[in-house]
Amino acid sequence: MTILIPTPLRPYTGGKDAVEVAAANVAEALAALTQAHSDLRKHLFTPEGKVRAFVNLYLNDEDVRYLPAQQATAVTAADTLSIIPSIAGGLCNNGTALAGPSGATR
């Protein structure tokens, strides 16, 4: 199957934006990926071996967390697994933002 690597993790795959692995399920695919590119491990997993909370895994168009078998879901060579870190933020409740100078240059 194909694992799509997001921009921040490409330094750990030799610059590759996609990695092909042979695996029977999602967990095996991740194991194969981190075996081939061991520096990825700490970016994807907690020290306890769980996928970091901010790392989203999509098998084709489905969030792996919501698949019945989750990471035990079977995969085929034609499947694509996307690794997508979450995107969020904002001022939050106290409206705090640090003051400072700047602006764009034209």
Partner 1 sequence: MSTLNLTPTVYEAIRSHGEETYPHECCGVLLGRPGAGGWAVETAVRAGNTRTDSAHNRYHIDPRELVKIEREARGQGLGIAGFYHSHPDHPAQWSPTDFAEAHWIGCSYVITEVAQGKAAVTNSFLLAGATEEDKRFQQETILVA
How many whole angstroms separate alpha carbon 48 and alpha carbon 31? 14
Per CB under 8 A, 6 contacts partner 1: yes
Q: Which of residues 64-93 bind partner 1 (CB under 8 A)?
A: 82, 84-93
- Parallel, antiparallel, or unpaired for β 18-20 and 55-59? unpaired
Which among 4-12, 22-30, 67-75 is the span making contact with partner 1, rule CB under 8 A? 4-12
When the beta carbons of 76 and 102 are compared against partner 1, the nearer one is: 102
* Angle ∠(43,49,53) on CA atoms, nearest 5: 60
What are residue 30's DSSP bridge partners?
Answer: none
Q: Which of 63, 69, 72, 77 binds partner 1 (CB under 8 A)?
A: 63
Per CB under 8 A, 20 contacts partner 1: no
Per CB under 8 A, 11 contacts partner 1: yes
Helical (H) or strand (E) element with 32: helix 26-36
Q: Which of 48, 68, 76, 100 binds partner 1 (CB under 8 A)?
A: 100
DSSP string for residues in 11-29: GGTTT-SEEE---SBHHHH
CB of 7 to partner 1, least distance (A): 5
